[in-house]
Amino acid sequence: MQIDLFRPSVPPLSAYYSYLELIESNQIYSNFGPIHHKFKKRLADYFNIGEENIELFSSGTMALVAALIALQTINKDEVRPYCLLPSWTFVATVQSVIAAGLTPIFVDVEEQSMQLTKNMIEQVSNEILLKTSVVLVVSPFGAPLILEGYDLLCQTYGFEVLCDCAAGFESAKSFNFHTVISLHATKIFGIGEGGLLISINKKLIEYAKAYSNFGFLNSRKSITRGINGKFSEIQAAIGLAALDLWGSNKKDYYQKAAYYLEAAFNLPFQFQEGWGRDWVSSTCVIRFDDESQKKSVQKDWANNKIQTRDWWNQGCHLEPAFCHYEFINIRNNTNILAKTTLGIPFYKDISQDSINHIFK
């Protein structure tokens, strides 16, 4: 039996067919049309925020770029070229920073949470912090972010915090800082492609939206940098169906995660803190005590046709396109995490037989 690493939970055609018919009858396919508006309104209600505090983009990456560029437009921070971010993330985070014209500086994460916490930022020199316009905090594989202390750091150093919660549709609950969530097919709330930006700063939302629409702001004049990064009506149709199914999908994910926790009880690895109990995402990443243990179990799984993946390779500071950027390696945690963590198969309809086979 082969066990795939991943299977999408994008709604079936039957669930969004009626929304597609609506698009056809409206004859509006993009440009912030009625289905886009309906989806955005329902998302705003779901997250308990105002409609003016959320915007949709063609992808999560686009939402990150739009947010970073909008922050530059609003804050006019020409003397602050740096964006601090963890190396322990997916390459999209770094690509967004570069696309937005900022210089990435990688910072090591805390070992247990795998996050760029306030304690790690405090290890960075004042010289760099005073030239930093944005600290991009990344949720590792959908875990809730630890943001305590960031308010004070923002006041002291004058940077903004942007949260890349790409995999955090289920866990993101408070939006004191600007937050991006991906709707990619690999995510727990997957629609194919798409991303959303949430912010209490309405101006940021307006300017990010303008960036995604050729720089147009309330008129057909380009008043700022722009591109076409809009969210289409078809994406919104699938999104509405995903919202219709979300309650039952989420329940399925939690149920499967509970089976994992039970089946793996007493085995020599850990799940991410709270995974399957306090929060859940579409990826299951486990942690071994050391690299040799990981390698040997990974080999066993490969021999048994059970797919696994180092989702974030060896850390972004070692990716060929980024290895010339500075990496502030505080405790070597990024390198340790890369060597000891592993993504294993997880999806909402994985069978009990497959779960037993993985943990046997």
Ligand X SMILES: Cc1ncc(COP(=O)(O)O)c(C=O)c1O
Residues lying near ligand X in the complex (CB under 6 A): 59-61, 89-90, 92-93, 138, 164, 166-167, 182, 184, 195
The residue among 171 and 354 lying less far from ligand X, judged by its C-beta, is: 171
Least distance in angstroms from the C-beta of 56 to ligand X: 11
Q: Tokens 């760029």 label which residue?
A: 116
Quote the CA–CA distance of 93 and 257 in Å, as a whole number: 27
Least distance in angstroms from the C-beta of 289 to ligand X: 25
Chain residue whose CB lies nearest ligand X: 60
Least distance in angstroms from the C-beta of 185 to ligand X: 9
The residue among 72 and 235 lying less far from ligand X, judged by its C-beta, is: 235
**Residue 272 to residues 107, 275, 331, Cα–Cα distance (Å):** 21, 5, 20
Least distance in angstroms from the C-beta of 184 to ligand X: 4
Contacts of 80 (CB under 8 A, 6+ apart): 130, 131, 132, 133, 158, 159
Least distance in angstroms from the C-beta of 304 to ligand X: 27
Least distance in angstroms from the C-beta of 93 to ligand X: 5
The residue among 59 and 117 lying less far from ligand X, judged by its C-beta, is: 59
The residue among 59 and 132 lying less far from ligand X, judged by its C-beta, is: 59
What is the C-alpha end-to-end distance of the chain, expressed in Å? 13
- Nearest to 139, CA basis, from 117, 174, 119, 168: 168
The residue among 92 and 100 lying less far from ligand X, judged by its C-beta, is: 92
Q: In what order do the strands lie in the sheet with 132-138?
A: 54-57, 195-198, 178-182, 160-164, 132-138, 82-86, 103-107, 327-328
The residue among 166 and 355 lying less far from ligand X, judged by its C-beta, is: 166
Quote the CA–CA distance of 96 and 92 in Å, as a whole number: 6
- CA dihedral 7→10→15→16, nearest 10 degrees, is -150
- 276 sits in the region (left: phi over 0; alpha: psi -120 to 50; else beta) called left
